[in-house]
Structure 1
Amino acid sequence: MGWIQYGGSEDTIHIEDRALAHLKVVIAMKLRRQESFTLSWRHADGDAVGRSTIWLHPSIPLRFVFDDAEAAELNPRWIEDLMHTANSTGGISLIDEVLEPQN
């Protein structure tokens, strides 16, 4: 279980490493373009029940921390799906990965 630390807050946002790797790509693309947006997620097991949203802005420090030392293999479809939510009026929503059927 990885986490995001945002701004000067000591609070952490717990997100499974594989999902965090994909979010990192999408967030970096948006921030590189100097775009501000929201990120919404359901709280991880063990955290308070519910969901949260934060406002991401290029000038606010952001740190991604992964439990796994090896980088996850990225699923281009999931990145595309996350980017689609990022470009909506609701901002990025951490949606589930859709796996392509194997032939």
Structure 2
Amino acid sequence: MILRFRNVDADPADPVETWPYEAVVTAVERGGVHDWARLTGAVRRDPWGELSRSLEDYLGYAEPTGATALLERAIRSAREEARATRPRRGRRPGT
């Protein structure tokens, strides 16, 4: 299935980070595995970025589906990984 946006000033071929909120919602609701993989890739690259926060906002009220569960898990695991790999405050690397 090919993802198409209606009444949104974006193209599905654009980087997902540039999609407006409505396009993200459309991708979750009507997209396929390829589209969800693109979203999860963007979440992994920037777990607290604008796309991740928009997605998190939508998932807070979306009807539960397999796609919403996958995306919630992607956000959670990307943030956990980011927390685990960032240097601790007040400590220099190697100490």
Same fold judged by TM-score > 0.5? no
TM-score normalised by L of structure 1: 0.24
Q: Looking at both structures, which has the greater relative contact order when contacts are Cα pairs under 8 Å and sequence separation is at least 6?
A: 1
TM-score normalised by L of structure 2: 0.25
Who wins on radius of gyration, i.e. which is larger?
2
Q: Which has the higher strand share?
A: 1
